[in-house]
Chains A and B, each alone.
Chain A
Amino acid sequence: DTAVSQTPKYLVTQMGNDKSIKCEQNLGHDTMYWYKQDSKKFLKIMFSYNNKELIINETVPNRFSPKSPDKAHLNLHINSLELGDSAVYFCASRRDALNTGELFFGEGSRLTVL
């Protein structure tokens, strides 16, 4: 039974389109994250939610809008897609936002913008 699942795994779309990536965790964790992994494999934090509340919002264009309907779900909607948005997006969860919890990652969603 997958702990952190995200869909779709692959997404190919045209510039200017709007797309969403969904994430769900069944670990009972309070904190969820979205990370962007570029072509050089660096994982960069985008957003973090704790119990449905936004706690981290890095300098991400406001074309990116996260939504957390409940603490088990964190979705990412992207408007007006640009070529530079092509990357692998990882959802992750942690027991809570404090310092000892292990991050559990999803399998990633590879977004390709043409």
Chain B
Amino acid sequence: KNQVEQSPQSLIILEGKNCTLQCNYTVSPFSNLRWYKQDTGRGPVSLTIMTFSENTKSNGRYTATLDADTKQSSLHITASQLSDSASYICVVSADRGSTLGRLYFGRGTQLTVWP
């Protein structure tokens, strides 16, 4: 069964600290994985996309990793800011056949950054 699991469910950190969010998936065949950020009261916005051949990709203070062998991805946030408080959602795309283009959503990690 194609699934996406995220951990932790919620996380509280102090401003300036680093944190890492995890995403494990069983989606097969795999096409790509995106991390979305959803601010309170807003729609999700894509932060980064990881394809099969990519191990690491950075977008400012956000660094995503992908291990396609173990089917795990992480999102590392460096020097957190208050504006990083949001829900982070992992979305995996399937590749072929009847699942072509099908998207599988994780339940998100709610990050709260305290001053």
Spell out A's residues near B (CB within 8 Å): 4, 40-45, 90, 92, 96-103, 105-108
Contact = CB atoms under 8 A, between A and B. Distances in A.
Contact of A99 (B41, B93, B108): B93
B95 A103 contact: no
Nearest to A96: B101
B49 interface: yes
A96 B101 CA distance: 9
Contacts of A100: 31-32, 49, 51, 93
Contact of B44 (A43, A99, A101): A43
Nearest to B96: A99
Contacts of A97: 100-101
B87 to A, nearest CB: 6
A97 B95 CA distance: 11
Nearest to A56: B102
A108 B89 CA distance: 16
